[in-house]
Amino acid sequence: MDPLNGPIVVTGTDTGVGKTIVTAAIAAAATAAGLRVAVVKPAQTGVGTGETPDVEVIVKLANPALVRTFTAYQDPLAPMAAARVSGQPPLRAMDAHLWVRKLGRDHDLLLIEGAGGLLSPLGEGGWTAADMASGLRAPVVVVIRAGYGTLNHTALTLEALAKRSIPAYVVIGSWPDNPELVHRTNLHDLPGDLAGAVPCGAGRLNSTEFTNRAPQWLAPSLYGRFDSKLFRARAK
């Protein structure tokens, strides 16, 4: 399969599933393949918690050509709630789309990382990552957990995308070094094609090692050489 081009929306089945590390991995693999990559975070929350912002993590690990956050909020809440609590205006979908389209014209690949899950409200009127993907006619990378609950969460997310006729690519956000029975059986039963699996602790690698290893974790559609059949066979 040829690598994806144009904008790609990265979402997850939930918060904390590894979206940022997967986004960084795609950016690193595509950059290594010679592409000029931009990464956009439309809404960043929790900037007042002292944790490293997602865009800084991506810069540290992948160093793409451009990284941009459109709006940021202090509290670690869903973007609409964070805007309401802070008194800041929520991000308008029209503004986000205009900025994304402009950046897309100047780069070979544009990665748009959402916040929370596919249908988490990102801005004014409750627009979501699914709305962004529909408006841009962009495929979606769905980052999932490896453990308990992932089969249901993944199936629900893929069903929502299928109803909108949005192509989906499933990537495990944190695959354990020593997978347990639940991880191995989930791997066998996951719906959809598996387009990658990022190992646990990948975010602690230095930039050079992360960039060198990222193509191993991603399928050719995401600028890597990951083989889902071989991965599943080894995990049995």
Q: Which positions are annotated as active-site residues?
A: 41
Q: Residue 217 in 3-state DSSP?
A: helix
d(CA 200, CA 172): 10
d(CA 162, CA 156): 10
Within 10 Å of residue 220's Cβ, how many Cβ atoms?
15
What is the pairing mode between strands 109-117 and 37-44? parallel
Distance of CA 20 to the CA centre of its chain: 6
DSSP string, 91-127: PPHHHHHHHHHHHHHTSSEEEEEEEEETTS--SGGG-
d(CA 118, CA 142): 8
